[in-house]
Chain A
Amino acid sequence: GENVEQHPSTLSVQEGDSAVIKCTYSDSASNYFPWYKQELGKRPQLIIDIRSNVGEKKDQRIAVTLNKTAKHFSLHITETQPEDSAVYFCAASGVLGNTGKLIFGQGTTLQVKP
């Protein structure tokens, strides 16, 4: 089955700096790659996603890149702010059947220092 590895597990940056979180996946059939943000004690919420027919997607300060050949994708946050502090999860989903299940990485705790 699908396996998703995420690095680093913790990341501390200064406000205004950039943050990069990387994920690799094992199933070459995966075609959907979302990123979720989870604030302390709350539910995960989607912040950006990308499909396998696209190499890069950007939404204001957040961007995601996908390298299908290498089976890895990354989240880039520019001009970080204290409110970006949270746990970020990458995930992957395949095309087989209609399960729609997401397999998540282990999470990255991002701390943005003011």
Chain B
Amino acid sequence: SQTIHQWPATLVQPVGSPLSLECTVEGTSNPNLYWYRQAAGRGLQLLFYSVGIGQISSEVPQNLSASRPQDRQFILSSKKLLLSDSGFYLCAWGQGYAGELFFGEGSRLTVL
């Protein structure tokens, strides 16, 4: 069966520090991968998605970036965090057509 792992689960970082969140999927090949952000009390905002290794599409201009160095690995990064980057970050995978997305456990980021 397919599983998705995301870490770290919680992170407290100072403004201006770098960020790296990692997500891996097991039990499937060539998945579509997604990063969503959920600000406190708000909806799920799509940040990036990837349909293959090295292929990244950005939905929202910001100081975050994403990379997909391997088929089942998706990384969210920032060189310098802003206060507004605080939130709950969710990685998800899908089969590549209009269908269910499966979410990871999430990473709660607090920028102080």
Interface residues of A (CB under 8 A from B): 6, 31-32, 34, 42-46, 49, 51, 89, 91, 93-95, 97-107
Tell me the dominant secondary structure on chain A's binding face.
loop
Contact of A95 among B44, B90, B95, B98 (CB under 8 A): B98
Beyond the given A31-B98, A101-B46, please list 18 additional residue pairs across the A-B interface where CB-CB is below 8 A: A32-B98, A42-B105, A43-B104, A43-B105, A44-B90, A46-B100, A89-B43, A93-B98, A97-B51, A98-B51, A99-B57, A100-B99, A101-B32, A101-B49, A101-B59, A104-B36, A104-B45, A105-B43
CA distance A42 to B106 in the complex (A): 7
Number of B interface residues, CB 8 Å?
Answer: 25
Contacts of A106 in B (CB 8 A): 42-43
Q: Is the CB of B43 within 8 A of A45?
A: no
* Chain B residues whose C-beta falls within 8 Å of the C-beta of A99 in the assembled complex: 32, 49, 51, 57, 96
A86 to B80, CA, bound (A): 34
Closest approach, in angstroms, between the C-beta of A1 and any C-beta of chain B?
A: 8
